[in-house]
Structure 1
């Protein structure tokens, strides 16, 4: 995406596509929401805390 600290033409085109495509924005948002749920949910936190502090 960067060459010599400059955005490449490909990166600019991808950003433009995201900015102007509401369906793609929704797809990216849903994907990121699922990543957050998978890695940062309260269930995950509980599992990690139980592993650190077994009873």
Structure 2
């Protein structure tokens, strides 16, 4: 049985928050990605930002 308790502190805590409005189509795509990968919507959005950033920086 897993031990319950407080999660470990992250080396880079998420301290920023923002709201985002999207179309129903965009929301449906995000939900599909989330359900298919098992990742949260926040994780999907973060990965998308990282992917675009890496492309722009030429990585």
Shorter-chain TM-score: which interval? 0.3 to 0.5
Q: TM-score, normalised by structure 2?
A: 0.36
Computing the radius of gyration from Cα coordinates, the structure with the larger value is: 1
Q: TM-score, normalised by structure 1?
A: 0.39
Larger relative contact order (C-alpha < 8 A, sep ≥ 6)?
2
Q: Which structure dedicates a bigger proportion of its chain to strand?
A: 1
Q: Which structure dedicates a bigger proportion of its chain to helix?
A: 1
